[in-house]
Amino acid sequence: MADPRDSGPGQDEAGSVVRPYILTEGRQHADAVQLDMVSVVIAARAEVDEMALEPEQLRILELCRRAQSVAEVSAHMDIPVAVVKVLLGDLIGRGYVLARAPYTTESPVSRDVLQAVLDGIQRL
């Protein structure tokens, strides 16, 4: 017979909160790295000390063999973005992962350029 303490109401909700807390060791933010959902991350080196990393960090490194956004890593791992940011911050701090902000322009594109693109699309 099953133990009634194992399947009480709210058991799944508690598990979904405890796991991220454990993965991040209670931290809510990366210590030194500012990442957002569209920051691009990629593994920096092939040599990895597997004994010094958590299984989730090893999975992140596997995913980051190819450049990915933080949101993509989160989706592939089915872990909240905030947790992935903390784990990535640790990996960046240890030199396992490189990150960069997505490409942005300092000045907005002129209206003439946008109109030319629109005209080109309409001609297709």
Successive 10-residue mean pLDDT values, the chain, 124 residues: 47 48 53 80 86 87 93 91 88 90 67 84 85
**Distances in Å between the alpha carbon of 74 and those of 2, 15, 21, 63?**
34, 18, 16, 10
Which alpha helices (H) appear in 1-124, and where do they start and end? 11-23, 55-63, 70-77, 81-93, 111-123
What's the confidence (pLDDT) of residue 22?
53
CB atoms within 10 A of CB 45: 10
Q: How far is 86 from 54, CA to CA, in rounded Å? A: 13
Q: How far is 96 from 107, CA to CA, in rounded Å? A: 33
What's the confidence (pLDDT) of residue 81?
87
What's the confidence (pLDDT) of residue 107?
59
What's the confidence (pLDDT) of residue 59?
92
Strand order in the sheet with 40-43: 68-69, 40-43, 97-100
Tokens of 53: 């990393």
What's the confidence (pLDDT) of residue 40?
92
Contacts of 39 (CB under 8 A, 6+ apart): 69, 70, 99, 100, 101, 102
What's the confidence (pLDDT) of residue 115?
85
Q: What are phi and psi of 70, to 5 degrees?
A: -60, -40
Q: Report which residue type is found at 101.
A: A
